[in-house]
Structure 1
Amino acid sequence: MTTNSVFGFIRAFVLVGAVTSAGAQIGGYDAPTVLAFVWWGQALLGAVNLMGSQEVGDRVRSGDIAVDFLRPLNPQVTYLAGDLGRAGITLIARGTPALLIGALLFDLAWPPGLDSWVLGLLSIGIAVVVAFSGSFIVSLVSFWVIEVRGIRLVWMITAGFFCGLYVPVPWFPDWLRTIAQWTPFPAMLQNPLDILSGRVDGGAIWSTLASQVVWAVLLLVAGQVVLQRGRRHLEVQGG
């Protein structure tokens, strides 16, 4: 939490400095909005697991995934439920204190109404599902390759850049922003940050949520396809 907060200060000063140097705003972000972007981002950094987990990949490599296939619940559902639980406790124990620190020391913009708060929290939940689903597919590559650390590293770097972890996606050049919008990565962080910072409100919130839901469904379905193909490919001790 301490490290999270320190990086929050650094990011806050850098991005506010950029907005101040540019004039009133950049890409729809003024100083309070960009501060909300920073501190909500720090609060969600642990809850939305952009880095993914090695557990599934390790279980595939060891053959323990065969035990998961014997259980009554689909492995994807089991691991998603665990990730949602992890995200909830992390948001409370790590994210909320960081956000309170930012709120006490900076002038943050807030969601304009109760509906924005509720839909913003819903957006966080969908973001957790999208991030999990993407990293789950990456882990399942272990069915076909011996080591996925390189693939996971590429995923982490790409996700961090295009999801709005470093700077807001609306600050990208037009061509790069278009590329980002055709990927699932903004649905992992940028979309909930836009709602919770108040940059997106009214009817635009629903289109933002719809985009997240589409990516969540697509990645969950893709994960099921890869999981079933991997199951047919799996061999444990000659079986």
Structure 2
Amino acid sequence: MNRVDLALARVTFLRRIAYRGNWIFTVVIGGAGLLASLALWESLLADGAVGGYDWYAMRGYLIIGYFSMTVTVGSGDWLIAQRILDGLVAVDLTKPVDFQRARAAEFIGGLFATLPGALFAIGAAALIAGIPAPASPLAGALTLVSIALVFPLSFGVIYLGTLACFWTRRFLGIVWARDSVLMFFSGMLVPVALFPDWLKVIAWALPFVHFTTTPASIYLGRVSELGALGLLAAEAAWAIALWWLARLIWNHAVKKVTIHGG
């Protein structure tokens, strides 16, 4: 990152925490959904494992999934969309700054504002339910790589969603649709292992499965070392593909700015 990128990330971070009372409140209650999910699955798994997940494994699955999803849905997508909806993108086109790269820097700034809430929730979950250890030291290390790849992958999904505003002129419906699809096909609502076979094929053909199922499967040792490397390669490939797909869509979307004058 250069100085411009760092400045954009810093400004976004400060903007997100400007209303400190609201920010602290969000941080404190951010883990309510995670704790509720833990309580629900503890009850469901009281009689034994489901889909190969017992209560011990499900704790790790939910905690990893919560962290990935919090990073994805809480990193400032509205700020990006608002630039398009308000016409500020026309001003951006006059600046010697790459629009996508600038938004990526802002995403990173929003990410740092989101992390405290995610870490607070994980800490609370660790105190209440405990966090299972990784299947092996290598599994733990590969899980960290997978989680690191979630960041560019999540930016790709978020940025592509915001580009749709060029055509829809609204963002709320996009957010609802995106988050619903992401939560379902990532396996956060229901583990992909519980899907019927035909739905598993669809899930693994999409990038969303790498937000929860991939890091959790590696962490819990549900895949071999070779299988874990294959999943990481697929995750990285999706992150790169979404970045360049967004480039192509942006080149077409810019024409709408020119046609409509802003």
- Place the TM-score, normalised by the shorter chain, in its bin: 0.7 to 0.9
Q: What TM-score results when the alignment is normalised by the length of structure 1?
A: 0.85
Matched to 1:168, the amino acid is P
Report the number of matched residues: 236
User: Residue 62 of structure 2 is aligned with which of 6, 18, 38?
Assistant: 38
Q: What TM-score results when the alignment is normalised by the length of structure 2?
A: 0.79
Question: Is it true that 1:215 corresponds to 2:215 in the alignment?
Answer: no
What SS does the corresponding residue of 1:48 show, helix, strand or coil? helix
CA contact (8 A) 1:162 1:180 kept: yes
CA contact (8 A) 1:138 1:151 kept: yes
Find the aligned partners of 1:212 and 1:203 in 2 and give their Cα distance: 14
CA contact (8 A) 1:50 1:160 kept: no
Deviations 1:65-109 (A, max 9, x none): 123233333211121222234324533x22223222222222432
Q: CA 1:44–1:142 in structure 2 vs 1: closer, same or farther (change >3 Å)?
A: closer
2:13 matched to which residue of 1? none
Question: Is it true that 1:174 corresponds to 2:200 in the alignment?
Answer: no
1:73 matched to which residue of 2? 97
CA contact (8 A) 1:116 1:196 kept: yes
Unaligned runs of 5+ in 1: none
Task: Report the more deviating stretch, 217-226 or 55-64.
Answer: 55-64
CA contact (8 A) 1:187 1:215 kept: no
Q: 1:236 offset after TM fit, Å?
A: 7.9
Question: Is it true that 1:48 corresponds to 2:87 in the alignment?
Answer: no
Unaligned runs of 5+ in 2: 1-26
What SS does the corresponding residue of 2:50 show, helix, strand or coil? coil
Question: Is it true that 1:20 corresponds to 2:31 in the alignment?
Answer: no
1:163 matched to which residue of 2? 186
Question: Is it true that 1:86 corresponds to 2:110 in the alignment?
Answer: yes
Percent same amino acid among aligned pairs?
25
Matched to 2:81, the amino acid is G
CA contact (8 A) 2:72 2:158 kept: no
Q: CA 1:121–1:10 in structure 2 vs 1: closer, same or farther (change >3 Å)?
A: same
- 1:1-239 superposed matches below 5 A: 1-21=27-47, 23=48, 25-49=49-73, 53-91=77-115, 93-200=116-223, 202-235=225-258, 238=261
